[in-house]
Structures are given as structure tokens and as C-alpha cells.
Chains A and B, each alone.
Chain A
Amino acid sequence: MKAGSNLEKVLEKRLFAVTGELGPPKGNDVSVIKRKAELLKGYVDAVNVTDNQTAIVRMSSIATSSLLIQLGLEPVMQMTTRDRNRIAIQSDIFGATALGIKNMLCLTGDHHTFGNQVDAKNVHDLDSIQLIDCVRTMRDQGRLLGGEEKIEGEINIFIGAAANPFADPFEFRVIRLGKKVAAGVNFIQTQCIYDMNRFKEWMRMVRDRGLHEKCHILGGVTPLKSGGMARYMAKNVSGIIIPDEIIDRVVKAKKPAEEGIKICVEQIQELREIEGVHGVHIMAIEWEQMVSKITEMAGLLPRPKIE
């Protein structure tokens, strides 16, 4: 065991894991966190807490993760390299682990020009792969990046990262995953999957390199709410591919939201059949109330309770 988190235990027992996602409030209103936490509690093994996603200022992922622990949920604290240099990163990891956070997702982060602080200076002292290496060094060697000084205490973190099989160059995607594995990643959450053929092709390349045996891969899914959302994402979000037949299904449906949920459930069932996929990451963005329904319809309930 690397950290002994619930997510790690579920994955190590080879049970199909389920993670969710919670976006912190754009302020310090804790009731927002409580409301979303209630919608996710019992339906997922751990909850990702985003780190100022799309570069919009929100409550910090460390503080929100800590509040989730108090509310009885296990967080996966996301951390981006966009806003912190290696001093802040390592200091925040000390703090996060002291607060009981055991899972962390190492990300580069959305570019700051997408957000509400476009005049900011971005940092990118490390990239996501160097961040993985940094956390692993802290955990396994008990020392800081590039230093011999011993850390006071123990850093126990189950290290995660992202992978996007839908961005380009496609052939580089699996090389990049290989670098994340070499840097020490334990689990991977993918970008939202709609193009199942491309995902399966990527997984084949992952298996060819044996990477599925060196890290746990969780397929990312996001239920589509409406035809408009499907069309918007397909057209405007780089690194997301939505095949026309999926857009058509949502657009033509009498109840698009219900169709979106149905597609999501089908995707989860298809993902379960793919060798090397060890779980699903459900990103129901501002639609957390649907996670209970999706997990129930996909036969993922009840979630295991591991001591």
C-alpha cells in the first residue's frame, strides 16, 4: 500500500472503482460543498476536488478536500502546476497530507487565459510528469526534489494523473502515459470518453506496452445534458471528440437529458469490458445529482466498504 486510501484499497482488490468530481465554490460558502457532498456520498469511492478548474478562482482544493474528509468523503486532491512553483507545491503537499489527504491528481492545469484572471503570471515551474516524480520522491525517499534533506514525517500519497487519448498527436499519447508511469504514477483518470473506438485503440497501445499492469486506468465519462452541450463541446473544447452518432442521439431524443444519462451508462458498461480499465471517473459537472442514478443504472452499487 502506498497510502492506504479507500480508492487504493478498492483498486488493489481489483474491484471496479468509481470516482466522482466536485468543483469547489467561487467563494467560501461551505454549504455548496455540503450540498454536493451529500449528492455523492455512498455512490463513489473517492471524490476529485478540482484545483481552480478552467483557471476560474475557487476555494482551494486543499481546503475543500479537508472539508470533505470532515463530511465523511474521501478526496482526490487535484493539484496543478499552473499556479505554484516547487516551493509552494511541496509545502502544500506537507499541509495536505497533514490534513489527512491521501490521494492526489497531478495536473498541468488549464491555461490561465481561459479563466477570470487573464493578467496573471503563470508558473509552470514543473510540468505534470515532473510533479509526479516530485511526489514520488517525497513519498518513497522521504526527501525533497533535488535535495538530500530528510522530510520530517511521512508523505503517504496515492499518486494519480490524467491522460487524454483524444488529443494529438495520437501516437504520442501512449508514450506520454509511459513517462507518467516511469515517473511513478499509480492511477490514471482519462479525459471524457465519447469516441469509444479511439479509446479502445489507445487501450490496445497501452496494453502493448504493458502499462495497464503498472497503473490503474479509470475511464472518464461525462453525461451530456442536452444537444446544445454536445454540439458546443464537440466544436469548442480541444481534446474532446464526440462522434456524430452520439450528438444525434441526444439532439433527436425527446428527453435529451435522459438520453445523455443512458449513453453514459452504456459507456460505463462498455468500459468495464475493456482489459486494463479498472474503474470509471464520473465527471457530472454541476449535475452531481445524477451520479446516484448513473451508478445505480450501471450496476455499480453498493460501493464496497473495505476496512
Chain B
Amino acid sequence: MIKAEQKPIDEILKYLNPYNKILLSGCGACVTVCHAGGEKEVELLASGLRMARQKIGKKIEVLEVTPARQCEPEFALELSETIEKVEAVLSISCGVGVQTLVRHFPKIPIFPGVNTSFLGETITHGVWEERCQACGNCILEKTGGICPISRCAKQLLNGPCGGSSKGKCEIKKEADCAWQLIYDRLKTLNQLYKLEEIIPAKRWGVESRDSGLRRIVREDLKV
């Protein structure tokens, strides 16, 4: 799922400085799971903003809402009536959710309250790690189900660099070397032969973000 972290409150306060009545919108999906933008975080942040503004004698009214999935139009549109009552929106959904609101509510300023970090998984309570970069052409079949594009600091496709030591990456000592993991996994599966194959240069410019805006069109689903 998408992982995010709340922006520093001082940065958020700067965005909201000109406004006295806002809507704070969370999201019930990914950012709820990573405790960055769910209903609970909406409540906490709203209180924080009210107190901070009260302290400087510039009260702010904060309406709160947490649609089930802010990135889906039908849920985003639930905000229509409330949005008419405020001067600006602070969204602590991911960057996708922010842009869904922007698309549907073109006349009102909408600010991000979180930094969208990565596509990742929960390692343990309170710890999340990156697992996918949405490169557009999955190679997990070749690498034992472990992604070197998101997990190797150099995105190496043909094995570990000279900085892999005792299972760790030299860039971040707390990070496992992706290629050590791949090696161990393929060894367990008796598939070390897969490592002999040269993975050719990736088609970044055709399949990934480097090709410009990506779009999926499914004719069978269009109405």
C-alpha cells in the first residue's frame, strides 16, 4: 500500500496562514493503515492546528472528514457540500487523493498535509518498508520475488555491488542487501541457475514514469 508521513506542523501552519475556516480531510484507505492520515490522525491534527492558532490569537475553525477512499471520485464527491462552507482544504490523504480533490473542486485551494513516501509493506507495528517502484514491467519472476528496483540503492539488475557486506547494504546499514535476499531465496528454492542469466537493460523510457504520464485504459470496463 501507499505509505506516507505527516508534514511538520509548522509547514502546514504556513500554508493555512491566510485562512480562518478549513476542511481537514483524511482518507480511510492506505494512510489509515500507516497512521498518517486516517480518522484518528484527522482528529489529532485538527486539535493541534486549533491550539497553535489560538496561541497566536488567530483562531481557526477546522471541519473534519475522512472519506473511505479519497482517490475515488464517488467518495471525494461526498465532500461537495462541506467544501462550499470553507476557504481551503487540507488533505492528509496521499498525493493521489489530493489531486482527486483538485480535479473535482477547481475553485478552492487544496494543500497536502502529508509527504507521500513509497509503496511498501508493514514490517512490524510502526515500521514500514519500500517494496515497489511501479516500474511498469515486473521482474519479480527473475529475482525470487524480491524487487531490486525498489530495494537496491543502485537498482542493480544483475547482482550485488561491491558494497554488500554480511547481508547489509553499505548505504544504509539497517537495510538488507536486496541481492543477498535474492541469493538466499533462490538458493532455498534450488533456483540459483536463475542468477546466471543476464537481465538486459530495462525499458525505462517505454514502461516507467520516464515515458511521461502513464494511463491504463480498459475498453471492456468503460461505460
A residues with CB within 8 A of B: 82, 86, 108, 111, 113, 122, 124-130, 133-134, 145-146, 162, 164, 166-169, 171-172, 175-176, 178-179, 182-183, 191, 238-239
Contacts and interface: CB of A to CB of B under 8 A. Distances in A.
Contacts of A179: 158-159, 196, 198
Nearest to B197: A179
B80 to A, nearest CB: 39
28 contacts: A111-B170, A111-B171, A113-B171, A122-B154, A124-B156, A127-B157, A127-B158, A128-B158, A129-B158, A129-B159, A130-B201, A133-B200, A133-B201, A134-B201, A145-B201, A162-B162, A167-B164, A168-B160, A168-B164, A168-B165, A168-B180, A176-B159, A238-B162, A238-B163, A238-B168, A239-B163, A239-B165, A239-B170
Contacts of A86: 201
Given A167-B165, A169-B164, A239-B170, A124 B154 contact: yes
B60 interface: no
B200 A239 contact: no
Contacts of B160: 167-169, 172, 176
B17 to A, nearest CB: 28
Given A125-B204, A169-B180, 4 more contacts: A124-B155, A127-B155, A133-B198, A239-B163
A126 B170 contact: no
Interface bin, chain B: 20 to 34
Contacts of A169: 160, 164, 179-180, 183-184
Given A162-B162, A172-B159, A191-B162, A108 B201 contact: no
A238 B158 CA distance: 19
B166 A172 contact: no
Contacts of A113: 153, 171
B31 interface: no
B161 interface: yes
Contact of A176 (B155, B158, B177, B200): B158
B162 to A, nearest CB: 3
A182 B199 CA distance: 12
Nearest to B148: A127
Contacts of A183: 198
Contact of A175 (B166, B177, B195): B195
A88 B57 CA distance: 56
A179 B156 CA distance: 13
Contacts of B200: 130, 133
B167 interface: yes
B165 A238 contact: yes
Contacts of A182: 198
A168 B154 contact: no
Interface string B174-217: 00010110011000000010011010110010000000000000
